[in-house]
Amino acid sequence: MKIQKDYVLLYMKGIQEKEGGYYGTDIANLANELGVTWHGIQKRISFWKNNDLAFKSFVYLGQHRPSITLNEFIEIESRVSSNSLEIKQHILSNLQTERKADGKELITKPTFYRVAKHATLSQFPLDFMYHWFVSNKITIPDDYSVKEARESLSSVFTFSDMKTPRGPNLRAIYNKLSKAKEWFSRYEVEPINHYSKIITQGKHIRSFLTSIRQDQQKRVQARLIFECQIAFIIECTDLLIDMIIRENGRIQRAIDKSRSKVGNHIREESLVSTREDLNCMIINEKTKIRMGLMRKHSGSYHLILQVLDDLTNSMREGVNFHSAYSRDIHKLFLLAKDKNEWRSLDEEEKRPFIRNSNLVLAIDNGNEDVASLIAIERIVKYIKQGKITFNNSYYYCHLGNKIKNVEIEKNEGFLTNEILEKMVSELFAIDIQNIIEGLNKIDKIDDCDPNDEEMINQRIDFSEVLRKISKHVRAMHPEWFKEHVCLFIKQTDGLFSMEYTEDEFADRLYEVIGFLGRNFRYRDLETSVNLKYFIQRYVTEEQLILELKFIYQCMVSLTGKDALMVVIDTMGINSRKTSILSDYHGRYATIGFADMRSVTPDMWPINSFRCRSGDSEAMNMVEVIDKIQTVCDNSIKIYTGDSHTISCISAGLVFLTRGVVAAGRICKKLKKLKKSEINKLRENIPLLNKIGKLLRDDPSLGRAISMKKHIYIDGINICKLVEDLGRLILRNVSNADIPVDD
């Protein structure tokens, strides 16, 4: 048969575009197709390559096509380098999926594992087991012991022994943190640099570690132990700063409680005439009372100062001041440590520090120790407001650089010029009202048939209900198990493989689905004891949120309704085992945590979110809405609740992050924004959308922003910007008719 030049050229072009060249096997396949010999067609191609420009660009890559392509080898090498502990089956599975999609022949297991082994040996020493630490530039001491490191989690890196009968012990918290930092220093890395990688799975790392026996998977144990230690150091640092702020708050409450306002007022009035006649009475009664009360708590003030001094090495290490306040803060700290610094301040410097002229006069007359106490109080206030930030803290770090470095597209974000102008003109209330009117009316429950009432009163085995729900959910979602497996691999960073079939996983998941009810223990139910390993390794909050998402989609399919609004409220729950992390809840008089629960107006359960009892609900609203939108496929437009679920800053953050309107009960009249404040919002729409994108990627930072009054970017206080935006939103909400009590 004659070899057709045009046909060969077309065939070779296709191979060249697809593979970047051709192999001897491609020529053999072409020869078989044309019914000629391999030698004959190879001879013609060689001739054409020498004499025809169209053939000169074709590249010969070798006799046999490799079983793994260059791109696949690069992928294997990259994943081994970034995470040497990842189970190789996960890499193979991903490559096989890509080949199936392209209609290519699958990779054989021996070939893949041979290449994976070569990629590992080319990057890590054969006789060294801690490859993951090497790839992440973490030092492992020569005398490192997995057993010793694991024991440190229960002796050093633990929140125990930090309380006294009177409450948290600041000195004990600092001492535990210091010991943990000293132990961790052998790795020669900063904990905060690695914390961002584990923030999403920090709550589950200890559970993953507990599911591994001490004599197994030592490489994986070493990594999980390292991550547990990081989580403890950062969380303990945040806790210490929290406790410093709260200790200052306790002092203020004690002072307020001790001060008898009425008595002081009467005493002052009775002494007015005497004071007019006696020029020697320089210090008035209020000033004397304030100084006396502060001196009464001087021990607590100096404990705060001592802990801050040790933590920051006299405010020289691991701490940042905003440029506008750095000079004042340095002087404050010197004054807090040495009362004699007061004498070195001139009148201009004293005036912004203490505006009460009578108090300044009193301090000048031999009461310099009070100035030191006021300086300590002011430093704590600056920490709370965000004027002082800490490098090794998560919630009290400087967020300005993070926000500034967020990359955002031109039209990315929920805030636009058009929407902002609607808010300014208060026409946004019409949009809110339209959403409210568009909500599906709640189904009215008709009177039950007597026969139905008898059936309702009968005892129903709830396990049967769960099994039926499980079957229905899986029937509605063919990819149910695959999505759970993908989430499991993502959460564990590929350290573990799924050990159950779909039916086995579903049965166990629904059997323990209530275990994360916050107060359960393994010994409460016999089934929980038997499924302890499954709970430790597979049951996480994210897995339950994914299952809630599947159940929600089934409800939408069955009813034909999709939720546009959620109702959020809180209840306090007593912890069965109180720790330093268990707070007293003022409204519910519980010692434990607050549970924020979300339902649709039709009472479909959406989410349950745990937060600290000492937090306001609004402070955590970004995280709550993020989980709600995950369950509801971003269908929620409005959330409502009591007044404690909203604040100006949370309303702004929730809208920027998810486009959700905070429409809770508003108890006070909101002031109208000034023209200068509105103009600042108009000028900084891209910056506000950057905040929204940052919080979409890391919702837990919503709490960090809500806690502060000052976060500066190029001289702009973004906390004030977000608060002004939230005030605009809430003014529009107050003009809409929202039946919160219905």
Write out pLDDT tens, residues 625-680. Answer: 999 999 999 999 999 888 888 889 999 999 999 999 998 888 788 888 999 999 99
Taking alpha carbons only, the member of 722, 455, 452, 444 closest to residue 601 is 444
What's 5-62's CATH class?
mainly alpha
Strands 163-164 and 167-168: antiparallel
pLDDT of residue 279: 47
Distance CA 525, CA 530 (A): 9
Is pLDDT at 280 greater than 50 in this prediction? no
Look at 213-227, 563-577, 716-730 and tell me which has the smallest mean pLDDT.
563-577
Residue 281 clears pLDDT 60, i.e. is over it? no
Which residue, chain included where needed, has tokens 């201009």?
348
The percent of residues in the chain predicted with pLDDT above 70, rounded, is 88
Q: How far apart are CA 232 and CA 129, in angstroms?
A: 25
What gap in Å lies between CA 337 and CA 334, rounded to an integer? 5
Listed residue (446, 430, 631) closest to 545, CA to CA: 631
- Going by DSSP bridges, is the β-strand pair 565-574/638-641 parallel, antiparallel, or unpaired? parallel
Whether pLDDT at 178 is above 80: yes
- pLDDT tens readout for residues 61-70: 676 666 777 7
724 with 716: CB under 8 angstroms?
no
- Gap between the Cα atoms of 103 and 118, Å rounded: 27
Residues 501-526 have a mean pLDDT of 75
Per-residue model confidence (pLDDT) at position 271: 63
Query: What's the CA gap between 258 and 365, in Å, rounded?
Result: 25
Report whether pLDDT(310) > 80: yes
Specify the pTM: 0.82
Work out the average pLDDT over 445-471: 68
CB atoms within 10 A of CB 52: 12
Beta bridge partners of 566: 639
Q: Parse the chain into domains and list their residue ranges.
A: 5-62, 70-123, 132-240, 284-398, 417-438+561-735, 462-546
Higher pLDDT, 257 or 497: 497
CA 70 to chain centre: 37
Summary mean pLDDT of the chain: 83
Q: Rounded to an integer, what distance in angstroms lies between the CA atom of residue 510 and that of residue 504?
A: 10
Q: How confident is the model at residue 550 (pLDDT cuts 50, 70, 90)?
A: very high
Tell me: the pLDDT tens digits for 431-448? 777 777 766 555 555 555
Name the helix (H) or strand (E) containing 208.
helix 205-210
62 pairs with which residues across the strands? Answer: 23
Which is higher by pLDDT, 48 or 274? 48
Query: Beta 388-390 vs 319-321: how paired, if at all?
Result: antiparallel
**Listed ranges 49-53, 257-261, 292-296; the one with the highest mean pLDDT:** 292-296
Which has more pLDDT, 367 or 351? Answer: 367
3-state helix, strand, coil in the chain (%, to 5): 60, 10, 35
Count how many Cα atoms sit within 13 Å of the Cα of residue 43 in the half-sphere of its side chain. 6
Is pLDDT at 205 greater than 50 in this prediction?
A: yes
The stretch 451-477 carries a mean pLDDT of 77
- Mean pLDDT throughout 246-264? 75
> What is the distance between the alpha carbons of residues 731 and 671, in angstroms, rounded to a whole number?
8
Q: What is the dihedral of CA 579, 582, 584, 589, to 10 degrees?
A: -100
Output 258 or 98, whichever has higher pLDDT: 98
691-705: pLDDT as tens digits: 999 999 999 999 999
3-state secondary structure of 571: strand
Please answer whether residues 353 and 341 qualify as being in contact, where contact means their C-beta atoms are separated by less than 8 angstroms.
Answer: no
Alpha-carbon distance of 717 to 9, in angstroms, equals 65
pLDDT at 265: 57
pLDDT cut 90: percent of the chain above it: 27
Categorize the per-residue pLDDT at 157 as very low, low, confident or very high, splitting at 50, 70 and 90. very high
